[in-house]
A and B are shown apart, each in its own frame.
Chain A
């Protein structure tokens, strides 16, 4: 019975992953991350992803504050933030976010403030979406581990 739950959960997880890959939200780099997880770092993926979330939120906030500033003119600074965001996003495999960053960067290079704003909004949207999905993924994973670990007393005899 519980075995079924674990299997079902694994199926859910795979389905979610397949969806994320299919939609281009994640790419192979995420798989690389999963492969890096081993006995020495059993929670590597969630650790890295949490770092990513933490850092990204900081970046997004500073990007927004930059753009909201009435006298904003430092596109260079924005470019630097963007570059970091792009780097970390691509490193964890957040493909769509990275793509939006590219568009964002293009707009910023043209000093196109309106375009930057739009890109930022899209970026925030994509980011939130990814975050929700990844949280969901981790939840399923957790449940699966739990389900796989539970044993009925009778089974141990």
Chain B
């Protein structure tokens, strides 16, 4: 009897132990990061890249950041390594294009099996590629060449992920039974050191990631691994159906079963609806009680998706984007702000209320209203400070409107920075159209290293939690750094705002049309005007500013500052130089390459992303050049090569339509 009792007791105690163990472990994960005294040093990074050069460079950079680096040049090897040494890595850096396995495949595997943050890298910085990375659930997307500063901040992804997971677990109390089961499973997953290969863990993880959802209809994981369930993406239409069903039932009475019946969507399960409902409820709670959310406790409030999904997104499948995994919240915030700002979008909730708008901007995205104010002011400041450069009055919005080629719906209201909401909507619209344009044109991010830190001034993004008004101190806000790498165009504003900052290291350029903001580092722009000249002349402003700062070689600077005005002139003919005069692009390269060297240290080089546009090699011009230079070059004396090189330079340029810029070169 006593023996049995003892056995029973021990059973109870062990089960109790295990349950606490489960709970404990899951919370442990979050605490782990916080209590480690080496943090963020000692972060264990796995780098996967088939390019040995980059691998070696990254390794060295990461070592300098005091991270523990493991490198791998093959994706398959990396996966094996990850599977073997579970829990041995905190974050993964992976190249996109690899010969043995697509980087996105690796990303999916890692996401499914190990749920580690994965940061993609590529030389291809075109928006479409970046978008693809986001859609596949990458935590971040870095564009080569990668700078050490960018790597210094990768720890934020680890922390963020852990916090998000903890938040999700906290919210498990509000789930209905099915979801609780899921959570229970998840906890079990945390606790047990089950090998990924087992079906149980895979299914559990998939159930959880089901809640995150993916593209509707498309089954993007075409990996041949074990049991695969098609993921559900809450597209605009689907969400609208959902919301109307909920409204019909009444938010209190809305239960997943009934919602499912009302929606009558084939293939949708009750679990899908249940998890979506949970998120919806959280969102509603958040936007209703959001005014008090001052300091942001964690940069990413848990389920960000509902915020975006609430609006019906006409042009962009934001929901799909939002739903498909861990979209950086800043992006979502930006998109969300865009949505909220759109006057013509048929938003379900009371989006027209500026208060609500601000509140919703505030809450989940942890954006303060005064951020909106902050954004507005710089623009005004910019206008006054650079009025001499910009003949036109400050009517950015209209200019933008006219400048954009693809402007699906002209939501931009004429009112300038009259209210925060309006402004943010305008910016948001610009963001969207920029994105769309980017998607249309293949583009390449040029490598202006410092510009990675260009600030994304979208009102709804990049707010370092603890800072309210000075949200955009580039150096201090880790969030902004990496975000910009993925959404280069969105650095719409904040020119003079940043100028007014003591460290001018974070000048962002607001440029429109096809100019890649990342590359146009110093050319800080205000709201991107349509014509390039204002923003171009803004670069002369900055060139002057930065020329006064530390200077590397005098001749380089002179050349650059000479080039600037030249460039301004050349572009003030109204036509969009990047879009139409393709032949001029090569021409533009040179000055900006030189300009790039002006600024050391704090100032960002001003470079135009000339090379990101298609340079059709017209047979006449380049052919001539090639025929001149082919063959003989290589083994010549250095001096000779210098001359040849000079000859190469000039003839190439001379092929192109004469220009004010040309005169600079022929001087």
Contacts and interface: CB of A to CB of B under 8 A. Distances in A.
Answer yes or no: do A and B interact.
yes
B194 to A, nearest CB: 36
Given A22-B594, A84-B50, A106-B616, A91 B146 contact: yes
B645 A29 contact: no
A103 interface: yes
B53 A32 contact: no
A21 B57 contact: no
Most buried by B among A90, A98, A121: A90
B154 interface: no
B145 interface: yes
B556 interface: yes
A27 B642 contact: no
Given A27-B597, A83-B123, A125-B629, A132 B616 contact: no
B616 A107 contact: yes
A87 B617 contact: no
A83 B145 contact: no
A51 B615 contact: no
Contacts of B630: 121, 125
A110 B53 contact: no
Contact of A92 (B53, B60, B449): B53
B51 A88 contact: yes
Contact of B556 (A21, A96, A103, A105): A21
Interface in B339-359: none
Interface string B627-641: 001100110001001
A68 interface: no
Interface string B86-123: 00000000010101000000000000000000000011
Contacts of A107: 616-617
Interface stretch (B312-320, B458-466, B538-546, B618-626): B618-626
A27 B56 contact: no
A74 interface: no
A119 B122 CA distance: 21
Interface stretch (A1-9, A40-48, A142-150): A40-48
Given A21-B597, A22-B553, A110 B52 contact: no
A102 B146 CA distance: 17
B217 interface: no
A83 B638 contact: no
B444 interface: yes
Contacts of A47: 56
Contact of A28 (B122, B442, B597, B622): B597
A83 B97 contact: yes
Nearest to B615: A103
Contact of A95 (B124, B146, B447): B447
Nearest to A52: B53
A129 interface: yes
A136 to B, nearest CB: 6
A17 to B, nearest CB: 10
Interface string B603-617: 001000011111111
A139 to B, nearest CB: 11
A48 B57 contact: yes
A91 B58 CA distance: 9
A126 to B, nearest CB: 9
A115 B633 contact: no
Contacts of B616: 106-107, 110, 112, 115
Nearest to B590: A24
Interface string B412-448: 0000000000000000000000000000001010010
B180 interface: no
Contact of A88 (B54, B447, B553): B54
Given A90-B144, A106-B442, A128-B633, A32 B449 contact: yes
B468 interface: no
A87 B122 contact: yes
A98 B51 contact: no
B57 A18 contact: no
Contacts of A66: none
A91 B144 contact: yes
Contacts of B50: 84
Contacts of A22: 553, 555-556, 559, 594, 597
B642 A28 contact: no
Nearest to A127: B634
B52 A24 contact: no
Nearest to A122: B626
Given A22-B594, A114-B619, A115-B616, A27 B633 contact: no
Contacts of B615: 102-103, 106
A23 B447 contact: no
Contacts of A103: 586, 611, 615, 617
Contacts of A91: 51, 53-54, 57, 144-146
Contacts of A11: none
A125 B146 CA distance: 26
A88 B122 CA distance: 10
A107 B64 CA distance: 39
B641 A129 contact: yes
Contact of A29 (B99, B449, B594): B449
A14 to B, nearest CB: 10
B397 interface: no
Contact of B147 (A32, A80, A118, A129): A32
B75 to A, nearest CB: 14
Nearest to B638: A136
Given A32-B449, A103-B586, A115-B617, 10 more contacts: A27-B597, A29-B145, A55-B53, A83-B123, A91-B144, A91-B145, A92-B57, A102-B444, A122-B625, A122-B629
Closest 4 CB pairs of A and B: A87-B123, A24-B593, A88-B53, A102-B611
13 contacts: A24-B593, A83-B122, A83-B123, A84-B123, A86-B444, A87-B145, A93-B145, A102-B615, A109-B614, A112-B616, A115-B616, A122-B629, A133-B641
